[in-house]
Structure 1
Amino acid sequence: MDRGSQTSATGAPGTSSAPSTPNTPGALASFVRFAIFGGGVGLTSSAAVALLTAFLPFALANALVSVVSTILATELHARFTFASGPRPAGHGLLRCGLRHHLQSAGTAAAAFSVTTLAMLVLHAFASAPGLAVEQTVYLSASALAGVGRFLALRLYVFATAREQPAPVALDLHRVPTRRELLTTAS
């Protein structure tokens, strides 16, 4: 089915937040899948960085794994977490286009910034915080960033045509009818 022609459960385009196809998961199912796929990619990435540091400098290994894991996570989220529809023609193995990958990378960069900022603020106020405090701050910031990333991916990056607001078209060359002029004047 074409994403632009999806209808709600009531049959009217864009009138309900109910999933339009059986493959479109609800918010809770999407969040659980987001945690599973994102967490799985995160754990795998951690192991990959550790293995690659035997052959590459840490910064290079981390950068390489970050790019590959972001692409992989974006594809998994498109296919399973948000079920973004059939693969467009001309994308090869990838389900997502460049726009999806760049927007997803932006959300990952924002999440990285939130956790980094949280740790910098912690160390600005406490010169030697304990491991428990560091982990509490880091995991709290990571959870907050994860929820924000989930919302950005669900509501913006992978939103279907049904979920996005309809564009407002303005025709600046059309002359309003007398009835429209009278209605707006009163």
Structure 2
Amino acid sequence: MAHAPQPDTTGAPDTTGAPGITGAPRAPGAPRASRASASFVRFVVFGGGVGLASSAAVALLAGLLPFALANALVTIVSTVLATELHARFTFAAGLRPATGRCPLRCGLRHHLQSAGTAAAAFSVTTLAMLVLHAIEGTPGLAVEQTVYLSASGLAGVGRFLALRLYVFATAPEQRPVPVSVDLHRSPTRRESLTTAS
């Protein structure tokens, strides 16, 4: 003889996320993981796009200015641009403009922190190449590219995490606390007296 399922009176939320069950929330972490993946794709697209535009701009400006000056100018502008794009679109930080007339969303603190992460990423790739050349005097092109791209990838992931978790971190979402009512609990003597009066 089959018994009807008893209602859950423990108050614990159902996190199974089973399909077909109305009102069953998804497993915790799944939406957050998908948001992080989407942010990482936008980070690569915007960062890569700014990087490609920067290399073209340096090549154009190098004909008019000394290379060091052209590279410095483009690096500053591209870092500011990438920071703004990441704030507005990659992480959707929801920042208001720094001042009433300034079109920039990020304040000086965000730009300095973002520049710090870019400098750290540059240091990682430079250190990787220095170590490679210290170990092997004349490495082949394939080895150099493998080391450089591996270091760049590692530095990029580190920069993404630093921007997401520190520079553009937002307050965690406030979730309602489930309220449980125990229907099988008998009222205490004090509750019975209060109800009777």
What's the TM-score, normalizing by structure 1?
0.73
Letter in 2 for 1:128: T
User: Any gaps of 5 or more consecutive residues in structure 2?
Assistant: 1-27, 174-197
The match for 1:51 is 60
Structural mapping, 1:10-29, within 5 Å? 26-29=35-38
Q: Does 1:99 find its partner at 2:103?
A: no
Rg comparison, structure with higher value: 2
State whether residues 43 and 90 of structure 2, in contact with CA within 8 Å, keep that contact through their aligned partners in structure 1. Answer: yes
Q: Does 1:61 find its partner at 2:70?
A: yes
The match for 2:11 is none
**1:130 aligned to which of 117, 126, 140:** 140
Report which structure shows greater RCO (CA 8 Å, sep ≥6).
1
The match for 2:79 is 70
The match for 1:162 is 172
The CA RMSD over aligned residues, in Å, is 2.0
Deviation at 1:127, TM superposition (A): 1.0
User: Any gaps of 5 or more consecutive residues in structure 1?
Assistant: 1-15, 164-186
| 1:75-100 deviation digits (Å, cap 9, x = unpaired) | 00000000011524615210111110
SS state at 1:106 partner:
helix
| 1:97-129 deviation digits (Å, cap 9, x = unpaired) | 111000000000000000000010111111111
| 1:38-97 deviation digits (Å, cap 9, x = unpaired) | 000001101111111111111111111110000000000000000011524615210111
| 1:116-146 deviation digits (Å, cap 9, x = unpaired) | 0001011111111111111111110000000
Letter in 2 for 1:127: G
